[in-house]
Amino acid sequence: MTDLTTLEAELSAQVAAAPDVAALEALRVAALGKSGSISGLLKTLGSMSPDERREAGPAINGLRDRVAAALAERKAALEAAELDARLAAETLDLTLPAPPRRKGSVHPTMQVMDEMTAIFAEMGFQVAEGPDIETDFNNFTALNFPEKHPAREMHDTFFFKPGADGERKLLRTHTSPVQVRAMQRTNEKPAAPWIATAIEPPIRIIVPGRTYRCDSDATHSPMFHQMEGLVIDKGIHMGHLKWTLETFIARFFEVEGVVSRFRPHHFPFTEPSAEMDIGCDRSGGEIKIGTGSDWLEILGCGMVHPNVLRFCGIDPDVYQGFAFGLGIDRLGMLKYGMPDLRDMFEGDTRWLGHYGFSAFAAPNPATGLS
């Protein structure tokens, strides 16, 4: 017991003399940590006889409790002293005018959408829009999705309850239904003037808008923004698609040029289908587009499937086309260094103040996008 009394006196003196919280934490680890002096005494209980353990156990545990209480009390005192020192040093002059606050800013998603639209408009593309609530035919059937495709299941798509006619509508999973609406020459009269109307080939449109899928993590959100492109004309081939996408990527990221590769993929609505990768450099903790030996998957694309053309009343023996899809939010993350997609939908004014854009600086390919 004399050893315990001596140890307690030494630890109490050290606790009382600890100059700051960091030193106190080091002392706590030295005494109560896994390899601490008191923890070592507790480990010896297992090798003692029952009579020895009956006497030593309460003594060692009591020492541990008293030292822990002394550490907590000293920590509270040190933190209070640190707070008093900060309050004395950090003064606020209430007579000074308040710092100016931004009245508002353009959300990065809208900024990126405007940048993309400006580039494609310069290439001769028109903007087409459509409803967020779509039919199964426009969202799946007309786009060559088979009946048992996983995307038609509840775990991938937000479905509504069937209507009186038995039809089950849904929140569109991509903006491709607007392409269907634009291509259908026998389309019904649109419900509103902003909904895409039937267009005779040649067709060259981009379709920006919200899309919805059952997905949520750092790079996915149940609601996100997508821009798809569609070109339908005579004699269209993959070379046209490659030039269009490489030109867009170079203009969007404001680099001299990009190196790309097209990997075979599968999409029901295109054949052949491809994932487009672009050259980049990941050294230094950031991604640099247009240089380096690494690859970054950027979008999906392909030649419009003949079945899609047939569903939309276009003869695939006369007309061909290509389509592509880009995630607007994801491109914004890549270009402006935003680490988490979910932050874009939180509505945090501090985040918007940091990443937002001036409403007076509209994107213009001639004078600069960003």
Structure tokens at 150: 């996983």
Indicate whether 146 and 251 sit together in one domain: yes
Q: Which residue type occupies 136? A: D
Q: Which residue type occupies 58? A: P
Indicate whether 73 and 151 sit together in one domain: no
How many Cα atoms within 13 Å fall on the side-chain side of residue 211? 23
Distance of CA 61 to the CA centre of its chain: 50
Please check whether residue 302 lies inside any domain of the structure. yes
| H-assigned helices in the chain | 2-17, 21-32, 37-43, 50-89, 108-122, 136-139, 176-183, 238-252, 306-311, 328-336, 349-355
Q: At what angle do helices 238-252 and 108-122 cross, to 10 degrees?
A: 130
Which of 57, 89, 121 marks a domain boundary?
Answer: 89
pLDDT at 1: 46
User: How far apart, in whole angstroms, are the C-alpha atoms of residue 328 and residue 160?
Assistant: 26
Helix, coil or strand: residue 23: helix
Indicate whether 214 and 319 sit together in one domain: yes
Quickly tell me which residue has 């999705």 as its tokens. Answer: 145
Helix, strand, coil percent values for the chain (each to nearest 5): 40, 20, 35
Please check whether residue 239 lies inside any domain of the structure. yes
Q: Could you list the residue range(s) of the whole structural domain that residue 349 is in?
A: 108-355
pLDDT tens by residue, the chain, 370 residues: 448 888 888 888 888 888 888 888 888 888 888 888 888 888 888 888 888 888 888 888 888 888 889 989 999 999 999 988 888 888 778 888 887 776 778 899 999 999 999 999 999 999 999 999 998 889 998 998 888 777 666 567 888 998 888 888 999 999 999 999 989 865 555 555 556 777 788 999 999 999 998 876 666 678 889 999 999 999 999 999 999 999 999 999 999 889 999 999 999 999 999 999 999 998 887 888 888 889 999 999 999 999 999 999 899 999 999 999 999 999 998 898 888 888 888 888 888 888 888 878 778 777 666 6
pLDDT at 124: 93
Indicate whether 201 and 59 sit together in one domain: no
Residues 11 and 33 sit within 8 Å (Cβ to Cβ): no
Q: What is the chain's alpha carbon radius of gyration, rounded to the nearest angstrom?
A: 32
CATH code of the domain in which 255 resides: 3.30.930.10
pLDDT at 67: 87
Indicate whether 265 and 332 sit together in one domain: yes
Indicate whether 52 and 139 sit together in one domain: no
Structure tokens at 341: 């997609």
Q: In the 8-state DSSP scheme, what is residue 341?
A: G
Please check whether residue 287 lies inside any domain of the structure. yes
Quickly tell me which residue has 């507790």 as its tokens. Answer: 42
- Name the E strands within 110-174: 126-127, 133-134, 170-171
Please check whether residue 363 lies inside any domain of the structure. no
Q: What are the CB-based long-range contacts (under 8 Å, 24+) for 155-159?
A: 155/214, 156/213, 156/214, 157/212, 157/213, 157/214, 158/212, 158/213, 158/214, 158/222
Measured over the CA atoms of residue 37, residue 38, residue 40 and residue 41, the dihedral's sign is positive
Quickly tell me which residue has 């710092």 as its tokens. Answer: 99
Structure tokens at 366: 């001639």
Which of 34, 62, 89 marks a domain boundary?
Answer: 89
pLDDT at 368: 67
Residues 328 and 113 sit within 8 Å (Cβ to Cβ): yes
Please check whether residue 130 lies inside any domain of the structure. yes
Indicate whether 187 and 55 sit together in one domain: no
Distance of CA 356 to the CA centre of its chain: 16
Please check whether residue 370 lies inside any domain of the structure. no
Please check whether residue 224 lies inside any domain of the structure. yes
Indicate whether 114 and 234 sit together in one domain: yes
Indicate whether 76 and 223 sit together in one domain: no
Q: At what angle do helices 50-89 and 2-17 cross, to 10 degrees?
A: 10
Indicate whether 124 and 84 sit together in one domain: no
Please check whether residue 96 lies inside any domain of the structure. no
Which of 56, 89, 122 marks a domain boundary?
Answer: 89
Q: Exposure of 246 by Cβ count < 10 A (0-12 exposed, 13-18 middle, 19+ buried)?
A: middle
Q: φ and ψ at 302, to 5 degrees? A: 160, 180
Residues 301 and 307 sit within 8 Å (Cβ to Cβ): no
User: How far apart, in whole angstroms, are the C-alpha atoms of residue 69 and residue 109?
Assistant: 53
Q: How many folded domains does the chain comprise?
A: 2
Helix, coil or strand: residue 60: helix
Indicate whether 339 and 213 sit together in one domain: yes
Indicate whether 43 and 138 sit together in one domain: no
pLDDT at 216: 66
